[in-house]
Structure 1
Amino acid sequence: MPLALIQVYILSRGEVFLATIQFEIKKRIATLSSSPKGWNKELNLVSWNGYPPKYDIRDWDSSYTKMGRGVTLSEGEARNLYYALKQLFEENSPKNSSVQNGDWRKRIDEWTENSPLFIQQIKNVLMFMNEKGYLAEKQRQLLMGIQSTPSEEALQYEIESIRSIYPSFYRELGILIQELGEEELGQLFLYICDR
């Protein structure tokens, strides 16, 4: 869609102002819903006032001269939303119920297939801890952020980096790590290192 202007009323400090906003829909991604009145809730990539485009969810009339309130998301926020929704919708799926019944190998295999960089980064951390001679319980504590010393600062930085890049995967891994006994935890770590 070409560059367009739209006028909106903005409430600021109890006063209403008329503002002109410049926008360009760079990419139409999806129509999430439609109403009989011609409005559509859409997910688009939109540049607002000449700034770099962001993901945008909002209602638009059919001519794109009127819009409803919406939300804009950076690429990182959109990824976090994707992973959060993916995890939410997979929680009740039959595929994920086997994980909750103790078959964590299937989940590790899914991560290896769908998010190989996540597994590779976890594997690198685990292999480093193995080289240092850390037992499974010490590895659990470090991965959960329960225990660390100044000499492990670089390791903690790496773990925090993984946690921030893959928040939903890391949260799910954290649940597995917390729930497993020490013997099965060691098996989990070895299984990841064999990927």
Structure 2
Amino acid sequence: MMLSALTIAASVALSSPATAPGAVYGLKPFAGQVVACTTDGLEVLTRDGQPVRVLGSEEGLPGTSCLALEVAGDLLFAATDAGIVSMDSAFHLEPVLDVSWQALPPAEEASSAEYVERLDLLARVLPADATYTVLTSRFAGTADGRVLELGTERAWSVAGPVVRIDEERQGVQVVAGDGAFFIDPKGRMASR
């Protein structure tokens, strides 16, 4: 069985010198390379997994850790512990938002400009006093165990940080640090 280049890149990223002290939070193919989101910044790898360079605070990455990646149009977006940046195909970083998000919403085939507009809108409607760990098209989860329905006043508290939100036809499945929960269409929450 042959391993894909992304699998090889993931293996190398997990063992490369730039990421050895910390964790890898995500990998995305971008601009003919693979970009790893790590506790040390953004690591650029060749498609076959060879380290090329690490982008950190000296290159304009806010904070010390990259926590999430999303490609929209011709830009790669990275959420860090101190803000969101975009990266072009020449691997130049530009600040996008000064927020504390540990997640990015899915691009859903949006252009780069549309994605920036979506991020700006989210930043305006989300309470600024939270660290967001999950963002979907309709819900946000926080590090302090809150689930917010976007565009409404509905919110629920769960045990532990929210790590996953899955929207289903029958309701919303929420996985938190201390358990799983289900929110039905009427807003009733039950433990799973």
TM-score by length of 1: 0.23
If each structure's helix is expressed as a fraction of its own residues, which one has the higher value? 1
- Larger RCO: 1 or 2 (CA < 8 Å, sep 6+): 1
Q: Which structure has the highest strand share of the two?
A: 2
Bigger Rg, structure 1 or 2: 1
